[in-house]
């Protein structure tokens, strides 16, 4: 709890004998020239409650500062009013506000004035290799990387030296900054090193320090109900208890002796010996008899014995004399600054009002005050961004990119204005310039990530190099420069990363960036080692836990990934990124019900941003449940309503309409809209190409090809463009171009398993380039990349079964594929077929597999069809026809036409012509252009006219090898082998090689002429 109640009693006692500017003026001797009386000004800071949770809070530093300020406001301390005293505690005591307060001292102090700077809080230094004296940690200081936001002792030295040597002011520096606690420099005793540097005299200032360089400062309830031992006795001593010779003055020598006697004794057996620096005879305080008597009497506490002076300040005096409209604008300006309305709305923002008010002559006494306060507010806001970037990167780096660009633009302007206000001679000018250049570089990087300013990388590197010239010890700049140059110059990039680690050894981001680089280069061992180093350096970082969890997820280390992502969420429940990644994980391990609450939480966290709606829309889309498609569509439209300029909103909608809802025309409209957005994205062109090649009512190969080349022009490194172009050429049987495209896709991204499968399938299936050894090689390469890639195992099964005719060897591959992905319905069909064609002809096992699969997937009608075929091959005709009839009854529009022919044959042979005719009529209705099947069915029902008509249409429309074979089969059905053989030969000449179908044609298999034909085209078949 903040120390307010006791202080209130003090502040309610108002002195009636207030004197101006904190010192009693001496009378001017007769005949002498009057001079301006010396003035005392003080800046008092106390911080107990730090913003960064990793900086240990103190208990009573703020109360110590309040007590010292109360002494300054009392008769005993000089009766300083608010125009001469700046008291800042906790969240008021930001680095920028401290800078502004010291600037006030620099601006206002004159020769002979007295300046008091009091600081109670943490001091630290994080690396012995640093060429600075340490830092004072203000409220908004980062817990590591002090260069980015703590107040350097170098700066304090410059300020004190300027005040003392240039302004000729008497400077008293009181520092209580050697506190215990786990700080970044704990391992090198950073607090003590800082205190040792503070003990060195900067100019001719007086210093009072709470302890020796190798000691810590203690605090506890035994001192004034909750104070620091040093501060408590310091105020007592200044009130007069240190006045050993009772001359009504307290000198530096007396306060030194008093503090040593009291603090050393009361903190024993712990060693705490306060120390002083400066001329020992220097007068520090005039003893006030009343205050001293009150303290000695023990009737009142230390603070109650003090009383502050109240008087109207400069601000009130100035405002009372200006026009009411100016006064109103001034108050509006203060409100705008407090609410951080720096630049918007333009007409009434802080910047517009400031520039107008500094032209008002009546406000001239406040102009410096306004300038300092405005600059401090601007720097406070920019510091929060830098703190997030450094030590809560999950709030900055993982922010949505569009928001980051807007934020960076604002921070750059804030720093620009602050730099303008403070001027080029300000001691922080270089640091502020360095930070502005750094943020400018970040902004350009984010624009590149959004597909804008794509040629800006050299400019980014130049900005970072300039930033380092201004701030050579800023580890964050070295780190980002390393990211930008390491791909082009590994050694130079590594130098920058190492420099960042040297400057801030416990900062996790350099380890993360370098780990990501090594992982991209397939050097996983180095990447993992760096992640582990980062986790040890900062185990409380949500950012690094999330990154490690993401690595584990990508490498299917599911338990570790889940644990790390949950830890990231536990460390910061407002962190959306691990929610998204954990949802991905649950979808991947088939626990989608756990993903939905995480994605809904992200909408709660960012209800006005499109991204969480987009993620939830993709989640519903990927569930493969028709009931969720409407939800997904509504969410895609919600995302579009929130951001109609983001192409992914339209791409996602297009994929839903295309892949799931089969609304191809609407999908194409969504993709087309995406192509009109800036920056252009390759994906909608890619998707549109697939649409025109495969889905449009009127296929358009040329348009599809053109769209893919447009996509390549937008991103020549995106391997999927070449893969799809290869698929396009495959469909057009332009196999040389196909091979080139597939090989290009592999060269661009050799870690993508699918590209190897595409090339393997090409070598397995296309006669013009057929090469089973190459097919085997590419399937095995896919498995090398991902040993859990089910599709590659399934394709190896296909290669052995259908091409190498080794059914027994295909079985283990299909079993492996199912062990990895038991949801693939097609693999059950393949496995059943492999058992059926194995050396054992294990029809029972094959049928058992399909029965089990059908129980799991009752909507998959192909199981019924294949069971019908298996029973047929096993000679179990009733069962065969029963399953065939079930299949037709279940989904008549999706049943192959030959099954209807099968049922016509079955009932015709049983002389149930009426029932046979029912299947014939359904065949006509469902497959009116399958003329060869219609011809066969008509022949079986002795419909001669229909037979001749359909046969003639079969002949007229036949244009592929399978259609040639079908015409031959019609003739074979009528035992007209003489007419059948030329069609079979034409089919074989044009590549028909469906051996299973050939073997099933028992009507012609034994015919000698057909056997001769097979010898010429398939000698190995007859050998077997």
CATH of the domain at 615: 1.25.40.10
Q: Are residues 778 and 665 in the same domain?
A: no
Question: Under a CB-based contact definition with an 8 Å cutoff, are residues 849 and 866 in contact?
Answer: no
Within 21-121, strands assigned E span 40-46, 85-89, 114-120
Residue ranges of the chain whose pLDDT lies below 70: 1-37, 126-133, 179-197, 199, 201, 297-313, 391-400, 892-895, 995-997, 999-1003, 1020-1024
Tally of CA atoms within 13 A in the half-sphere of 540 that contains its CB: 9
How many CB atoms are located within 10 Å of the residue 666 CB?
A: 16
Residue 529 contacts by C-beta under 8 Å, 6 or more apart in sequence? Answer: none
pLDDT tens readout for residues 400-437 = 677 788 889 999 999 999 999 999 989 889 999 999 99
| 383 within domain boundaries | no
C-alpha closest to that of 618 among 627, 607, 626, 629: 629
Residue in this structure with the two tokens 């125009």, named with its chain if needed: 83
Structural tokens at position 672 = 């087309």
| 84 within domain boundaries | yes
pLDDT tens readout for residues 226-274 = 899 899 999 999 999 999 998 999 999 999 999 999 998 888 777 888 9
Domain interval for residue 726: 717-787
Q: What pLDDT score was predicted for residue 337?
A: 94
Q: What pLDDT score was predicted for residue 363?
A: 93
Q: Are residues 66 and 167 in the same domain?
A: yes
Answer with the one of 733, 767, 787 that is the final residue of a domain.
787
Whether residue 296 is preceded by a cis peptide bond, meaning omega within 30 degrees of 0, is no
Q: Are residues 637 and 586 in the same domain?
A: no
Question: Under a CB-based contact definition with an 8 Å cutoff, are residues 267 and 333 in contact?
Answer: no
Q: Are residues 51 and 194 in the same domain?
A: yes
Q: Are residues 645 and 585 in the same domain?
A: no
Q: Are residues 233 and 138 in the same domain?
A: yes
How far apart CA 903 and CA 882 sit, in angstroms, is: 9
Question: Where would I find the H helices in 400-505?
Answer: 401-422, 429-449, 457-470, 475-485, 490-503
Q: Are residues 584 and 616 in the same domain?
A: no
| 888 within domain boundaries | no
Q: What pLDDT score was predicted for residue 14?
A: 30
The single-letter DSSP state of residue 802 is I
Answer with the one of 607, 635, 660 that is the final residue of a domain.
607
Q: Are residues 86 and 169 in the same domain?
A: yes
Q: Are residues 727 and 660 in the same domain?
A: no
| 123 within domain boundaries | yes
Q: List C-alpha distances in Å: 513 to 454, 476, 530.
A: 21, 11, 9
| 482 within domain boundaries | no
Sign of CA dihedral 49, 55, 59, 60: negative
Question: Under a CB-based contact definition with an 8 Å cutoff, are residues 830 and 814 in contact?
Answer: yes
The single-letter DSSP state of residue 40 is E
| 459 within domain boundaries | no
Q: Are residues 772 and 739 in the same domain?
A: yes
| 1012 within domain boundaries | no
C-alpha closest to that of 806 among 839, 783, 773, 829: 839
* CATH code, domain with 126: 3.40.50.1460
Question: Under a CB-based contact definition with an 8 Å cutoff, are residues 480 and 468 in contact?
Answer: no
Answer with the one of 787, 805, 822 that is the final residue of a domain.
787
Q: For the residues of 274-321, what is the DSSP string, one character each?
A: -EEES-TT-EEEEPPHHHHHHHHHTSS-TTTT--------HHHHHHHH
Q: How many domains does the chain have?
A: 4
Residue 1021 contacts by C-beta under 8 Å, 6 or more apart in sequence? Answer: 995, 998, 999, 1014
C-alpha closest to that of 770 among 760, 779, 756: 760
The single-letter DSSP state of residue 21 is G
Q: Are residues 637 and 765 in the same domain?
A: no
| 729 within domain boundaries | yes
Q: Are residues 130 and 233 in the same domain?
A: yes
Q: What pLDDT score was predicted for residue 22?
A: 36
């Amino acid at each position: 709890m903040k120390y307010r109640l006791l202080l209130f009693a003090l502040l309610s006692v108002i002195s009636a004998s207030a004197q101006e500017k904190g010192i009693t003026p001496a009378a001017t001797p007769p005949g002498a020239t009057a001079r301006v009386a010396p003035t005392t000004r003080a800046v008092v800071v106390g911080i107990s409650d730090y913003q960064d949770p990793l900086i240990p809070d103190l208990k009573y530093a703020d109360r110590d500062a309040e007590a010292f300020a109360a002494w300054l406001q009392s008769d005993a301390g000089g009766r300083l009013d608010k125009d001469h005293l700046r008291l800042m505690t906790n969240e008021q005591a930001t680095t920028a506000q401290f800078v502004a307060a010291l600037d006030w001292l620099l601006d206002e102090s004159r020769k002979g004035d007295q300046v008091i700077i009091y600081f109670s809080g943490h001091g630290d230094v994080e690396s012995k290799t640093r060429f600075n004296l340490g830092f004072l940690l203000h409220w908004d200081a980062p817990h590591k990387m002090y260069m980015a936001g703590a107040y350097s002792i170098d700066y304090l030295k410059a300020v004190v030296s300027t005040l003392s040597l240039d302004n000729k002011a008497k400077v008293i520096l009181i520092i209580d900054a050697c506190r215990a606690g786990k700080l970044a420099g704990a391992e090198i005793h950073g607090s003590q090193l800082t205190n040792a540097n503070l003990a060195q005299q900067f100019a001719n200032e007086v210093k009072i320090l709470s302890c020796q360089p190798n000691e810590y400062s203690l605090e506890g309830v035994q001192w004034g109900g909750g104070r620091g031992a040093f501060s408590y006795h310091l105020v007592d001593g200044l009130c007069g208890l240190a006045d050993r010779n009772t001359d009504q003055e307290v000198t530096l020598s007396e306060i030194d002796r008093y503090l040593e006697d009291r603090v050393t004794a009361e903190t024993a057996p712990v060693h705490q010996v306060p120390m002083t620096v400066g001329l020992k005879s220097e007068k520090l305080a005039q003893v006030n008899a009343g205050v001293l008597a009150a303290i000695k009497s023990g009737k009142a506490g230390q603070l109650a014995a003090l009383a502050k002076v109240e008087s109207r300040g400069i601000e009130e005096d100035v405002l009372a004399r200006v026009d009411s409209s100016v006064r109103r604008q001034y108050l509006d300006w203060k409100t705008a600054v407090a609410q951080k309305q720096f630049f918007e709305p333009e007409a009434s923002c802080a910047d517009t009002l400031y520039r107008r008010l500094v032209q008002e002559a009546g406000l001239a006494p406040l102009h410096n005050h306004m300038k300092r306060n405005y600059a401090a507010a601007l720097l406070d806001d920019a510091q929060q961004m830098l703190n997030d970037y450094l030590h809560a990167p999950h709030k900055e780096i993982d922010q949505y990119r569009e928001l980051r660009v807007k934020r960076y633009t604002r921070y750059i302007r804030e720093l620009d204005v602050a730099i303008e206000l403070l001027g080029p001679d300000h001691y922080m000018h270089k640091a502020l310039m360095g930070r502005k250049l750094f943020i400018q570089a970040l902004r350009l990087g984010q624009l590149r990530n959004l597909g804008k300013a794509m040629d800006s990388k050299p400019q980014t590197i130049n900005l970072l190099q300039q930033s380092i010239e201004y701030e050579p010890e800023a580890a964050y700049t070295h780190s980002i420069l390393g990211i930008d140059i390491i791909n082009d110059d590994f050694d130079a990039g590594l130098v920058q990363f190492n420099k960042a680690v040297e400057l801030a050894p416990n900062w996790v981001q350099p380890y993360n960036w370098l780990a990501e680089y090594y992982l991209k280069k397939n050097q996983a061992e180095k990447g993992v080692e760096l992640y582990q180093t980062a986790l040890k350096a900062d185990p409380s970082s949500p950012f690094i836990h999330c990154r490690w969890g993401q690595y584990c997820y990508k490498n299917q280390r599911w338990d570790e990934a889940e644990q790390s992502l949950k830890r990231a969420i536990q460390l910061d429940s407002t962190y959306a990124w691990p929610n998204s990644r954990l949802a991905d994980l649950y979808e991947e391990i088939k626990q989608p019900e756990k993903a939905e609450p995480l994605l809904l939480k992200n909408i709660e966290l960012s209800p006005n941003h499109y991204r969480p709606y987009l993620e939830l829309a993709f989640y519903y889309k990927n569930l493969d449940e028709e009931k969720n498609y409407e939800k997904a569509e509504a969410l895609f439209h919600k995302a579009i309503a929130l951001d109609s300029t983001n192409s992914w909103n339209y791409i996602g909608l297009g994929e839903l309409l295309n892949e799931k809802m089969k609304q191809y025309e609407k999908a194409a409209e969504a993709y087309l809209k995406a192509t009109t957005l800036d920056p252009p994205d390759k994906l909608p062109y890619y998707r549109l190409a697939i649409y025109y090649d495969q889905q449009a009512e009127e296929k358009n190969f040329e348009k599809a090809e053109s769209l893919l080349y447009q996509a390549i022009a937008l991103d020549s490194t995106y391997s999927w463009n070449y893969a799809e172009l290869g698929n396009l050429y495959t469909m057009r049987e332009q196999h040389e171009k196909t091979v080139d495209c597939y090989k290009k896709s592999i060269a661009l991204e050799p870690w993508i398993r699918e590209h190897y499968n595409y090339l393997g399938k090409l070598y397995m299936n296309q006669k013009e380039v057929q090469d089973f050894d190459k097919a085997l090689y590419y399937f095995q390469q896919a498995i090398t990349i991902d040993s859990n890639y089910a599709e590659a195992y399934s394709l190896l099964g296909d290669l052995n079964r259908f091409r190498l005719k080794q059914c027994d060897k295909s079985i283990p591959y299909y079993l492996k594929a199912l062990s990895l992905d038991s949801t693939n319905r097609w693999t059950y069909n393949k496995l059943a077929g492999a058992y059926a064609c194995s050396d054992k002809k294990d029809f029972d096992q094959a049928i058992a597999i399909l029965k089990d699969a059908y129980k799991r997937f009752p909507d998959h009608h192909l199981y019924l069809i294949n069971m019908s075929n298996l029973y047929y091959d096993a000679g179990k005709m009733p069962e065969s026809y029963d399953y065939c009839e079930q299949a037709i009854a279940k989904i008549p529009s999706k049943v192959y036409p030959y099954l209807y022919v099968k049922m016509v044959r079955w009932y015709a042979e049983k002389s149930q012509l009426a029932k046979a005719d029912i299947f014939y009529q359904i065949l006509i209705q469902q497959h009116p252009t399958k003329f060869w099947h219609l011809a066969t069915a008509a022949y079986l029902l002795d419909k001669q006219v229909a037979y001749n008509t359909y046969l003639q249409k079969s002949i007229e429309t036949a244009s592929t090898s399978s259609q040639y074979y079908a015409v031959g089969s019609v003739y074979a059905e009528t035992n007209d082998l003489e007419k059948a053989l030329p069609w079979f030969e034409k089919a074989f000449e044009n590549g028909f090689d469906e051996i299973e179908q050939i073997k099933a044609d028992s009507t012609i298999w034994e015919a000698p002429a057909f056997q001769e034909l097979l010898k010429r085209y398939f000698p190995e078949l007859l050998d077997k």
